[in-house]
Chains A and B, each alone.
Chain A
Amino acid sequence: MSFAGFELTVALPKGRMMASAYRAFAAAGVELPAARGERDLWHGDGKLAVLELRGADVPTYVDLGIADVGVVGRDVLLEAGRNLYEPVDLGFGVCRLSLIRRPDDDAPIRRIASKYPRFTQAWLRRRGQVADVVKLHGNVELAALVGLADAVVDVVQTGSTLRAAGLVEVEVLARSSARLVVNPSALKLKRELIHPLIEKLRQVKIND
């Protein structure tokens, strides 16, 4: 069921994290095959294959064993709730998942908008709080500004977007950075490939 014919299949999220992942793997002595063109869905060089995915799809591909390993933000993992090994904190892509509100707003929260509905629900349950969670796909801050929701849960990197929008970060709910995720079956059956990779990636320091 894994991507046939390759020794190791790596799932990477498109965008900035992908470039950092290439550098991290290179620093660990693994040269991932380069993309041949904009419209390539995957690239392989005989031994290694790279699948270019939306971040949220990386845990799915790794969980089902199509990819053996992947790189993905912890924020995405928290939302995906899949059974994966996450043995390495790669250190780049640092951000936090925060509760964000209008500055003057301290009314009880009855509705939260987020791209992370599962995570938000779980956080509410742990708090013993009840609120509706609305799933949005982008521009989540707008929901708080225009009153679609009393608060939003979203990724914050520097906080400048928030400040520009006139919102405040009320509470940090989780801290995130890029993780190496590994399919349990692949880790065991391809130990001689993946174990050294983990060991080396743990030594690597890459900045965004």
Chain B
Amino acid sequence: MIPEGTRYHLPPEAAARLVLLERWRSLFNSWGYDPVELPALEGFDPGHPLAERAFKLVDKSGRVLALRSEFTTAVMRMVASERLQDRLYRFQYAGKLWLRDSEVGLGRMREFVQAGVEAVGASSPRLDAELLELAWEALRAAELPGARLEVGMPALVADLLAATGLEERQRARLRAAIERKNTPELAELLEASAVTGDVARAILALPDLYGGPEVLAAARRLPLGEAARRDLDWLDEVLNALPAELEVLLDLGLARAYDYYSGIHFRAYTPDFGLPLLGGGRYDGAAGVGAAGFALGLERVLEARGLPRELNAPDVLACDAETARSLRAQGLRVELAWTDDPDELRAYARARGIGRIVGPQGEVEP
């Protein structure tokens, strides 16, 4: 029995997974993102954003290790320890991640694969727009035409909360209420902490600021401080740099997927599927430099798209090695017979879905 939250990926599905990963790899490559490989074993760090949810192991020296639970932090550590801070680097990665969480559901595994990119060493609205467009291309490569990108600005939420002058512990409670769009609780918390006036009005408006471009205009009408206005200007620049056919959704109440987001944050949804397909954003300072990226969940994307049912059967079952070689040279997918018994070969070809059996004298009647 394999552990809960892990899975065998059998032929039609395993092939579909590889096809998708290869499409993403080649797409990212064409945008200049170089592949990197990262160790799956990490030194355990209680400060890691997913520290509590990671699988832990004990090293031979007694040191605690963790199985990789997230790629962004891993890439940031690589950047810091390899001192890749001298220019802009574009990296792509793909691989397995593990989380201890027992809450296993549709498209939610304890062992799962993500593929993604990071642009490290610079910070600009144009780079944010590049990542959004690339994320959109990745969804198109996955044949999810109905998928929509949603962009938020956790920096705006953080700056508005900073303007309250409250302690971090109280701010965290406000942030959680904003994140859950829990307006009744948000109002109570603001009242209880004696936050009033313009700041309270702006914060209370955040949970409902989701939708199309009109949201940005509505946010502009709020009584905002200097920092919050700069956040909106940045977001404006990002949106203006997007291709016209890419219409993103906005949610200015997006507060925190991870604490390290410092600018935009984005995810993608597709109709009739309840979980985000990808997540990303900007986290300047995480490795001492500007950094942004996103990661796609392979299992989720495949679940949303529907798993392939058709077996990708070989074209030909060849009776001898010479025939097999020459048919393969023509670009066909060819399996070689292991016996001369024609009945056995016919039965196998039927079960495997192979349409043709070919010998040295040509086609064998099925």
Q: Taking beta carbons and an 8 Å cutoff, which residues of A are in contact with B?
A: 1-2, 4, 60, 62-66, 82-89, 182-189, 191, 195, 202
Interface size band for B? 20 to 34
**Shortest distance between the CB of A173 and any CB in chain B (Å):** 16
B181 and A65 contacting across the interface, CB-CB below 8 Å: no
CA distance A186 to B150 in the complex (A): 12
Can you give 6 contacting A-B residue pairs, CB < 8 Å?
A2-B271, A83-B180, A86-B182, A89-B185, A183-B274, A185-B275
Instruction: Identify B150's interface contact among A65, A86, A89, A188, CB under 8 A.
Output: A188
CA distance A64 to B182 in the complex (A): 19
Q: Which B residues are CB-close (under 8 A) to A63?
A: 105, 274
B274 and A188 contacting across the interface, CB-CB below 8 Å: no
A86 and B272 contacting across the interface, CB-CB below 8 Å: no
B183 and A185 contacting across the interface, CB-CB below 8 Å: no
Q: Mark B294-312, 1 if CB is under 8 A from A, else 0.
A: 0000000001100000000
B211 and A191 contacting across the interface, CB-CB below 8 Å: yes
Q: Which A residues are CB-close (under 8 A) to B207?
A: 87
A87 and B183 contacting across the interface, CB-CB below 8 Å: yes
A1 and B106 contacting across the interface, CB-CB below 8 Å: yes
**Shortest distance between the CB of B344 and any CB in chain A (Å):** 43
Interface centre among A65, A86, A88 (most CB of B within 10 A): A65
Nearest A residue to B274, CB-CB: A65
B106 and A188 contacting across the interface, CB-CB below 8 Å: no
Instruction: Identify A188's interface contact among B148, B183, B184, B273, CB under 8 A.
Output: B148
A186 and B183 contacting across the interface, CB-CB below 8 Å: no
A64 and B106 contacting across the interface, CB-CB below 8 Å: yes
Q: Which A residues are CB-close (under 8 A) to B150?
A: 188
Given the contacts A1-B304, A63-B105, A64-B106, A185 and B182 also touching, CB distance less than 8 Å: no
B184 and A89 contacting across the interface, CB-CB below 8 Å: yes
**Shortest distance between the CB of A79 and any CB in chain B (Å):** 13
Other CB < 8 Å A-B pairs besides A183-B274, A185-B273, 15 of them?
A1-B272, A1-B274, A2-B272, A2-B273, A63-B105, A66-B274, A82-B103, A83-B180, A87-B181, A182-B181, A184-B274, A185-B270, A188-B148, A188-B210, A189-B271
Interface centre among B105, B210, B251, B272 (most CB of A within 10 A): B272
B181 and A85 contacting across the interface, CB-CB below 8 Å: yes
Q: Taking beta carbons and an 8 Å cutoff, which residues of B are in contact with A?
A: 103, 105-106, 148, 150, 180-185, 207, 210-211, 249, 251, 269-276, 303-304
**Shortest distance between the CB of B228 and any CB in chain A (Å):** 22
CA distance A128 to B303 in the complex (A): 41
CA distance A65 to B251 in the complex (A): 19
Given the contacts A87-B207, A191-B211, A4 and B272 also touching, CB distance less than 8 Å: yes
**Shortest distance between the CB of B307 and any CB in chain A (Å):** 12
CA distance A195 to B182 in the complex (A): 14
**Shortest distance between the CB of A60 and any CB in chain B (Å):** 8
Interface centre among A2, A182, A183, A184 (most CB of B within 10 A): A184
Instruction: Identify B184's interface contact among A1, A62, A88, A182, CB under 8 A.
Output: A88
CA distance A186 to B274 in the complex (A): 7
**Shortest distance between the CB of A1 and any CB in chain B (Å):** 5
CA distance A92 to B225 in the complex (A): 38
B105 and A185 contacting across the interface, CB-CB below 8 Å: no
**Shortest distance between the CB of B99 and any CB in chain A (Å):** 14
